[in-house]
Amino acid sequence: MSDKSNENNEKRLIYKEIETIVGTGMVLQNELISNHNSIKIGGPADYFITPDSQGSLKSILKYLKLKEIPFYIMGNGSNVFAHDYGFKGAIIQIYKHMGDIMVEGKVVTAGAGVLLSKLASKIAEAKLTGFEFAAGIPGTLGGAVFMNAGAYDGEMKDVLVEVEVIDYNGKISTIKGSDLELGYRTSILQTEHLIALTVKMLFNQGDEILIRNKMKELNQRRQDKQPLDLPSAGSAFKRPLGYYAGKLIMDAGLSGYRVGGACVSQKHCGFIVNDQNATSEDLIKLIEHIKHTVYHKFNVILEPEIRMIS
């Protein structure tokens, strides 16, 4: 039997074992990552797993560690991409099956997989204010905590009470909001390799009409300024201290600059869009060209906000 046949047989066996752990329909083999991210770039993952409970996630983490199978945690893929050759290991998506929402007075507890847009609507329905900023962010709650997501003068840091997390060894613990080390696009979840499970937040009482009007206004501002009609991964670069990445890129003369199918958006230079079936190589080369050009012209280092699955 050839090495390729042995490899395929081993993969089928692992697939069956993962399916036994997470349940039928919760794992796909050789699934294109491009089907699960907003920029539509990325080849196949050996295993694409969507656990539906904390217990299932805990068990699969222990299994993958035992088998020494590399893995990557993602939400709904709003700021990630992968190489065209894919990912040799398992993608674990914390998304649709882990998104329950519970409202108790001014306290809201939600699963890490819930979309921010859905959560914002539910919070508005409860006549609670303080989450309007997140209504148009295209990500999950877990990803928002991981990155301390923010927009329009609001950020996750403002509302977090505590987060229940699980580490890569399957140990579950709870971290208070004040101990999450939340900064600009960073948190202790990144530095300590933790996965958010459930998130507790505190809001103020408000008027639902005013809350929804503010959400509508912020969403309209996004639609007016951002290239939401094309595949992208959101803001391509973090905001450098004292500058705006989009303006630096525009002032560097890179509006509309293209590498293959990846292009600097002419609507908002802080975005890279995939408008012509971009490859991962196109995107990587464009990011590097932007970084080099901006540094050469302005002596400012741009740090990508787009994350590569590796």
Q: Are residues 199 and 162 in the same domain?
A: yes
Q: Say yes or no: 108 and 201 in one domain.
A: yes
In a domain, 287, yes or no: yes
**9 and 46 in a common domain:** yes
Q: Which amino acid is at 19?
A: E
Indicate if 235 belongs to the active site.
yes
pLDDT tens digits, residue range 136-184? 999 999 999 999 999 888 999 999 999 999 999 999 999 999 999 999 9
- Give the chain's mean pLDDT: 96
Is there a single domain that holds both residue 120 and residue 175? yes
Flag whether 215 is in a domain. no
Domain match, 9 and 50 both: yes
pTM for the whole structure: 0.93
Q: How many domains does the chain have?
A: 3
Residue 223, domain member (yes or no): no
Residue 11 placed within a domain: yes
Active site residue: 31, 162, 185, 232, which one? 185
Could you tell me if 199 and 133 lie in one domain? yes
Which pLDDT score is estimated for 5? Answer: 78
Is 221 labeled as catalytic in the residue annotation?
no
Q: Could you give the angle at which helices 116-125 and 208-225 cross, rounded to 10 degrees?
A: 150
* Catalytic site includes residue 185: yes
Residue 51: which domain range? 3-93
pLDDT given at position 2: 63
Residue in 239, 255, 305, 307 annotated catalytic: 305
pLDDT-derived band at 7 (thresholds 50, 70, 90) equals confident
Residues 8 and 78 in one domain: yes
Same domain assignment for residues 196 and 133: yes
The catalytically annotated residue of 78, 235, 265, 280 is 235
> Which H or E run includes 17?
helix 3-22
Domain boundary among 93, 122, 139: 93
What CATH number corresponds to the domain at position 35?
3.30.43.10
pLDDT tens column, 242-257? 999 999 999 999 999 9
Nearest to 78 by CA among 224, 228, 187: 228
